[in-house]
Amino acid sequence: MAELTLENLSCGYGARTVLKGLTFTVGSGDFFFLLGPNGAGKTTLLKTLLRFLKPKAGRILLDGQDVSRYSARQFASRIAYVPQAHTPPFPYSVLDMVAMGRTSRQGFLGAPFRRDIAVAEEALATLSIAHLKNAACTEISGGERQLALIARALAQQPDFLIMDEPTSNLDFGNQIAVLGHAARLAKEGRIGIVMTTHDPNHALFHASAVLAIGPEGRVSLGAPEQVVTEDYLRDTYGINPHPVQTGLEDGRKVQVFLPIHKGGECPGIRRTLARCAAVVLSCLAIASGGIMGDARASGAPAQRTITDMTGRSVELPAKVERVACLEVLCYQKLFMLGAAARAVVMTKTSAPWMLLTNPGVRAIEMIPPEPDFEDLLLKHVDVAFFAYNADRTLKKLESLGIAGLVSQPVGRTPKTAEEFLDDAKRSVRLFGEALGGEAEQRSEDWRRDLDRRVAFVSERLAGLPAERRLKVYYVRGPSALNTQGTGSNTFWYSRLGGANMVIENQPLAGRGSVSMEDLVRWNPDVVLVGRQYPLDLVLKDERWAGIAAVKNGRVHPTPEGVFYWDGGPEGVLLMEFVAKLLYPDRFAGLDLTAEVQDYYARFYSYRLSGEQAALLLQGRSPDGSRFNPMNN
């Protein structure tokens, strides 16, 4: 005979105590009812009994031992919970669900064994729902689901069942069926049942004892006919109870009550203070038209028209003094054309030789990719060079009246070296024209220098048959599989330098990627690693081990300058570098160190020492390192 005892128990939520000083005992075979109106604390007490809530005071004893000292498993094998019939989240079969009642009696993992299935089937049979065992528990009726939940609790083989309003939400017939099963279980004497209900008549029919909660938390405890009285019902529910005598099947006579409405206000409203807060939101519509005005009026009058890389005609002030570099290849051209000091803002770049050759660059404000347009207005920018972005930058610059020139090739990827060189020249010329004066002259010098270098290399390579050209792959980084195709300096300048670029004609621009299997198939003779990435990207990767370039020790770093050689005008030096690297015999007389020194002197007015030029050609930074944190 098991005993569940409450000793001077107080329970509640948070800071609030709902019920105080409860003392009673429920034993095996008892059918104990908790009765009370909504919000009276029935569920709070139930949850405290189930240990979901901690008691505010007092204690709960199971066979003389405080329940707080039981583990979850020990507790579940003594006391089972029957929740209100709910729709489970997953459509488990009824048998699967009932078998979960065995959790507390299984091993650590909770896998059900044959015996557990047998217990579950027995529980189903006890409640006369064995035929439902393979039905989905989401598809049976509410009454059947409630019985299945009771079966699950029975499968726990507990001493007590704690049932939370098992009859609510059930139709008349199912209420009687569920109550009948519960009453029978209690009568058999092996288990005790504690159950909450809304219906006083249920308690009068079946209870062995009732705890009735009245107004203001007053409780009365005792036999049902002593506790569930006319006065209790009138005071608690605000009704006129009408008593009716009736006989039960077992011959007992009971008095039950028909609820009659008292008239007047609805009782629930008395307790419930409905507070409605009407929140009025007012939105202010701010008309912004006309604020912008015509920014052009404040600048110098437009005096000339220039065609940018998209073919747009753009009006420019006669003198361009303040330049915004909104794309990464802009600064190098300004520097090369002697106009670096005119840059007021530039997109952040950090190539290795930039700071050394022009310390003045530190004075130029570095900006994120998305410029602050107000700042551009504030700085009275005469012209902004930007990469094509029709929807954002272009529209915005136009609306602000800032002359904007698209300064990178747009639309097509070059199909031939001629087209590529043409694009390179056009973009330099664009800067020359926009900056005017000496800059324009310098852009012409650069074009002639380019033509001369191309002619020289082509002449030396003349007669080299296609099949004798070495296969080359360029590693752009950060991964060895990132490379560049026909949209890049590296592809065309290397090809002009005599390389057979394995990337073939794939129109990859700044940063594409290829597959490792293609690389095995291409089996390049030479691998170039750009952007100061470590050669270990290739050398330390076992998948590369069988590739010719790795086997023959032909993995080389490429040099980087004021900008990376894979972008911008200085990339022309890559052509000579590649040509000399691949065909040293044909370029025996070409002194790369001298070529680099010459280029830097001519276009950057900077004298590189022989040592510095050698460092640059090894792909290193002025400090000798080959590591650039901004690269990765």
Partner 1 sequence: MAHEISARSRLRLSLLALAVLLACVILASFLIGRYPVPPHVALAVMASKLVHIDPFWRPELEAVILKIRLPRIVAAAGIGAALSVSGAAYQGMFRNPLVSPDILGVSAGAGFGAALGILLGWPAASIQTAAFGFGLLAVAAAYLIASWGGEGEDSTLAIVLAGVVTGSVFTSLISLLKFAADPTNVLPAITFWLMGSLASVSARDLYFAAWPICVGMATLFLFRWKLNVLSFGGEEARALGVNVQQTRLTIIASATLITAAGVAIAGIIGLIGLVVPYLARLLVGPNHAFVLPASMLLGAAYLLAADDLARSLLAAEIPLGILTSLTGAPFFLYLLLNTRKAWR
Q: Which is nearer to partner 1, 11 or 314 (CB)?
A: 11
16, 64, 90, 274: residue in contact with partner 1 (rule CB under 8 A)? 90
Q: Which is nearer to partner 1, 74 or 593 (CB)?
A: 74
Considering the rule CB under 8 A, would residue 161 count as an interface residue with partner 1?
no
Residue 44 is classified by DSSP as H
Considering the rule CB under 8 A, would residue 471 count as an interface residue with partner 1?
no
298, 303, 609, 632: residue in contact with partner 1 (rule CB under 8 A)? 632
Q: Which is nearer to partner 1, 121 or 445 (CB)?
A: 121
Question: Among 170, 211, 251, which residue's Cα sits nearest to residue 32?
Answer: 211
8, 23, 65, 138: residue in contact with partner 1 (rule CB under 8 A)? 138
Q: Which is nearer to partner 1, 93 or 255 (CB)?
A: 93
Of the ranges 106-114, 190-198, 242-250, 292-300, which one interacts with partner 1 (CB under 8 A)?
106-114
Q: Which is nearer to partner 1, 342 or 476 (CB)?
A: 476
Q: What residues contact 243, with CB distance under 8 A and at least 6 apart? A: 230, 255, 256, 257
46: number of Cβ within 10 Å: 21
Q: Which is nearer to partner 1, 2 or 300 (CB)?
A: 2
Of the ranges 47-55, 175-183, 293-301, 607-615, which one interacts with partner 1 (CB under 8 A)?
47-55
Task: Give me the least distance between CB of 371 and partner 1, in Å please.
Answer: 11
Q: How far is CA 350 from the centre of its chain?
A: 31
Print the SS3 string covering 577-630: HHHHHHCCCCCCCCCHHHHHHHHHHHHHCCCCCHHHHHHHHCCCCCCCCCCCHH
The Cα 115–Cα 260 span in angstroms is 52
Strand-strand pairing, 57-62 and 3-13: antiparallel
Q: Which is nearer to partner 1, 50 or 233 (CB)?
A: 50
Q: Is 276 exposed, middle or buried (0-12, 13-18, 19+ CB in 10 A)?
A: exposed
The 403-406 sheet, strands edge to edge: 365-367, 343-347, 323-325, 383-386, 403-406
Question: Among 384, 381, 316, which residue's Cα sits nearest to residue 347?
Answer: 384
Of the ranges 21-29, 107-115, 210-218, 574-582, which one interacts with partner 1 (CB under 8 A)?
107-115
Task: Give me the least distance between CB of 53 and partner 1, in Å please.
Answer: 8
The Cα 82–Cα 152 span in angstroms is 8
Residues β-bridged to residue 345: 324, 365
Q: Which is nearer to partner 1, 169 or 628 (CB)?
A: 628
Print the SS3 string covering 327-373: CCCHHHHHHHCCCHHHEEEEECCCCCCHHHHCHHHHHCEEECCCCCH
50, 207, 501, 502: residue in contact with partner 1 (rule CB under 8 A)? 50
Q: Which is nearer to partner 1, 522 or 577 (CB)?
A: 522
Considering the rule CB under 8 A, would residue 72 count as an interface residue with partner 1?
yes
7, 17, 37, 117: residue in contact with partner 1 (rule CB under 8 A)? 117
Q: Which is nearer to partner 1, 458 or 628 (CB)?
A: 628
Give residues 320-379 in contact with partner 1 (rule: CB under 8 A).
328, 347-350, 368-369
Query: Among all chains, which residue has been given the structure tokens 């997109």?
Result: 347
Task: Give me the least distance between CB of 589 and partner 1, in Å please.
Answer: 36
Question: Among 71, 117, 77, which residue's Cα sits nearest to residue 98?
Answer: 117
Residue type for position 107? G
Of the ranges 4-12, 76-84, 435-443, 587-595, which one interacts with partner 1 (CB under 8 A)?
76-84
Residues β-bridged to residue 371: none
Considering the rule CB under 8 A, would residue 96 count as an interface residue with partner 1?
yes
Q: Which is nearer to partner 1, 256 or 384 (CB)?
A: 384
Task: Give me the least distance between CB of 76 and partner 1, in Å please.
Answer: 3
Q: Which is nearer to partner 1, 20 or 105 (CB)?
A: 105
The Cα 319–Cα 301 span in angstroms is 10
Of the ranges 25-33, 66-74, 257-265, 356-364, which one interacts with partner 1 (CB under 8 A)?
66-74
Q: Which is nearer to partner 1, 21 or 546 (CB)?
A: 546
Half-sphere exposure of 481 (CA within 13 A, CB side): 11
Query: ω into residue 478 within 30 of 0, thus cis?
Result: yes
Of the ranges 83-91, 171-179, 197-205, 613-621, which one interacts with partner 1 (CB under 8 A)?
83-91
Asked whether 298 and 381 are in contact (CB, 8 A), the reply is: no
12: number of Cβ within 10 Å: 20
Q: What residues contact 499, with CB distance under 8 A and at least 6 apart? A: 469, 470, 471, 472, 526, 578, 582
Question: Among 443, 453, 451, which residue's Cα sits nearest to residue 577?
Answer: 453
Task: Give me the least distance between CB of 492 and partner 1, in Å please.
Answer: 19
Q: Which is nearer to partner 1, 74 or 255 (CB)?
A: 74
Task: Give me the least distance between CB of 186 and partner 1, in Å please.
Answer: 19
Considering the rule CB under 8 A, would residue 488 count as an interface residue with partner 1?
no
Considering the rule CB under 8 A, would residue 169 count as an interface residue with partner 1?
no
Considering the rule CB under 8 A, would residue 389 count as an interface residue with partner 1?
no
Considering the rule CB under 8 A, would residue 480 count as an interface residue with partner 1?
yes
27, 83, 317, 436: residue in contact with partner 1 (rule CB under 8 A)? 83
Give residues 496-555 in contact with partner 1 (rule: CB under 8 A).
506, 508, 510-518, 520-521, 523, 531, 541-543, 545-546
Give residues 574-593 in contact with partner 1 (rule: CB under 8 A).
none
16, 64, 69, 89: residue in contact with partner 1 (rule CB under 8 A)? 89
Question: Among 510, 528, 505, which residue's Cα sits nearest to residue 579?
Answer: 528
Q: Which two tokens stand for residue 217?
A: 């938390």
